[in-house]
């Protein structure tokens, strides 16, 4: 992966991305350490090498206000948590790279349109931090149902895992939400920690013979296995993901369990806890989608 090009800021224009000089692996500061220190000012999306010097990095925040707070606190003064180094910080107006690579060589996109999966949409910052806190507090007041690797709460209808292709005990292995059970739009709101979601489009017929892969499996090491193509997206907290059309009916999706968010010169921090709200509408009548090969109503 080529290094991103970061320009200097124009007219002191503020940005969620900081260009930080006198900081980096060549002066003994790992990307993880840098991410941890800068995280005290807000959620860090990633830390990137600004160039090949090893002494200049880009710290990319979700929110511009976090970058402002970090610049104010850390610029042009010795930072005790970073070996007392004297940092020189400016806003960087150029966006961080659109993709980073995970340990198993999957490029992870930061925007849904870069995945080229028709019908998949992502809205970052769909809710505010205050709304997020409110939602987390309210779910923690409700009883959880414990599955093998995660806990769930159901609202409206009970989801019967035993009769669905999404069985308990395997966490989020690759699956398509059953066509006959749910309507065409599925929304997923991410709270608390970020995660990476992966997608697979199997070549016709191949998915029927697919081995029952656990999501921890690392046997495929490219974005194009022998019988499927593979894509990945970063889901930040407070973002809303929409599955519709081909994304909903024909792509398997899953969340890998392994914590592989550091690769090459980029680190993406993953929180210990992620809560997601999945909103589905119960279907009335059979599914009439354009993907009969994946459709339990039409098979």
User: Which residue pairs, CB below 8 angstroms and at least 24 apart, start in 47-52?
Assistant: 47/266, 47/267, 48/4, 48/96, 48/97, 48/265, 48/266, 49/3, 49/24, 49/265, 49/266, 50/3, 50/4, 50/6, 50/19, 50/20, 50/21, 50/92, 51/3, 52/3
Binding to Zn ion in span 105-134, by CB under 5 A: none
Q: Which is nearer to Zn ion, 179 or 280 (CB)?
A: 179
Minimum gap (Å) between residue 296 Cβ and Zn ion: 7
Minimum gap (Å) between residue 116 Cβ and Zn ion: 22
Size of the site for Zn ion (CB under 5 A): 4
Q: Are strands 85-86 and 78-79 parallel, antiparallel or unpaired?
A: antiparallel
230 binds Zn ion (CB under 5 A): no
Q: Which is nearer to Zn ion, 71 or 250 (CB)?
A: 250
289 binds Zn ion (CB under 5 A): yes
Q: Which is nearer to Zn ion, 47 or 287 (CB)?
A: 287
Q: Rounded distance, CA 291 to CA 84, Å? A: 59
* 161-169, 215-223, 225-233, 282-290 -> range binding Zn ion (CB under 5 A): 282-290
Q: Which is nearer to Zn ion, 136 or 289 (CB)?
A: 289
Q: Which pair of tokens denotes residue 226?
A: 């022998």
* 59-67, 74-82, 215-223, 279-287 -> range binding Zn ion (CB under 5 A): 279-287
Q: Which of 179, 231, 238, 248 binds Zn ion (CB under 5 A)?
A: 179
186 binds Zn ion (CB under 5 A): no
- CA 32 and chain centroid, separation: 18
CB within 8 Å of 45: residues ≥ 6 apart: 60, 61, 62, 96, 110, 234, 236, 268
Q: Rounded distance, CA 262 to CA 271, Å? A: 13
253 binds Zn ion (CB under 5 A): no
* 2-10, 64-72, 224-232, 280-288 -> range binding Zn ion (CB under 5 A): 280-288
* 21-29, 171-179, 211-219, 251-259 -> range binding Zn ion (CB under 5 A): 171-179
Q: Which is nearer to Zn ion, 87 or 295 (CB)?
A: 295
Q: Rounded distance, CA 253 to CA 251, Å? A: 6
Handedness of CA 18, 20, 23, 26 (dihedral sign): positive
Q: Which is nearer to Zn ion, 228 or 294 (CB)?
A: 294
295 binds Zn ion (CB under 5 A): yes
Q: Rounded distance, CA 94 to CA 65, Å? A: 17
Q: Which is nearer to Zn ion, 271 or 286 (CB)?
A: 286
Q: Which pair of tokens denotes residue 137?
A: 């507090």
Minimum gap (Å) between residue 259 Cβ and Zn ion: 34
Answer whether 24's CB lies under 8 Å from 57's CB. Answer: yes
Residues that bind Zn ion (CB under 5 A): 179, 287, 289, 295
């Amino acid at each position: 992966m080529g290094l991103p090009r970061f320009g200097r800021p124009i007219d002191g224009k503020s940005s969620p991305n900081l260009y930080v000089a006198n900081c980096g692996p060549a002066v003994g500061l790992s990307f993880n350490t840098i991410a941890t220190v800068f995280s005290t000012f807000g959620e860090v999306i990633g830390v990137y090498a600004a160039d090949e010097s090893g002494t200049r990095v880009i710290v990319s925040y979700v929110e511009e206000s976090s970058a402002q707070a970090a610049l104010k606190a850390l610029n042009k003064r010795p930072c005790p948590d970073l070996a007392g180094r004297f940092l020189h910080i400016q806003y960087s107006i150029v966006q961080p790279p659109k993709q980073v690579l995970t340990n198993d060589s999957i490029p992870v996109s930061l925007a849904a349109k870069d995945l080229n999966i028709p019908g998949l949409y992502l809205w970052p910052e769909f809710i505010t931090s205050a709304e997020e806190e409110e939602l987390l507090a309210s779910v923690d007041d409700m009883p959880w149902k414990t599955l093998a690797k995660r806990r769930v709460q159901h609202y409206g209808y009970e989801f019967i895992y035993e009769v669905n292709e999404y069985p308990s005990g395997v966490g989020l292995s690759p699956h398509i939400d059953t066509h006959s059970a749910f309507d065409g739009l599925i929304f997923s709101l991410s709270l608390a920690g970020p995660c990476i979601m992966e997608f697979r489009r199997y070549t016709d017929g191949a998915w029927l013979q697919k081995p029952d892969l656990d999501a921890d499996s690392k046997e495929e090491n490219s974005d194009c296995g022998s019988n499927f193509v593979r894509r990945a997206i970063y889901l930040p907290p407070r973002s809303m993901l929409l599955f519709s059309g081909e994304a909903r009916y024909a792509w398997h999706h899953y969340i890998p369990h392994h914590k592989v968010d550091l690769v090459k010169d980029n680190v993406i921090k993953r929180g210990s806890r992620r809560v997601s709200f999945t909103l589905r509408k119960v279907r009335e009548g059979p599914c009439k989608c354009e993907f009969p090969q994946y459709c339990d109503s039409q098979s």
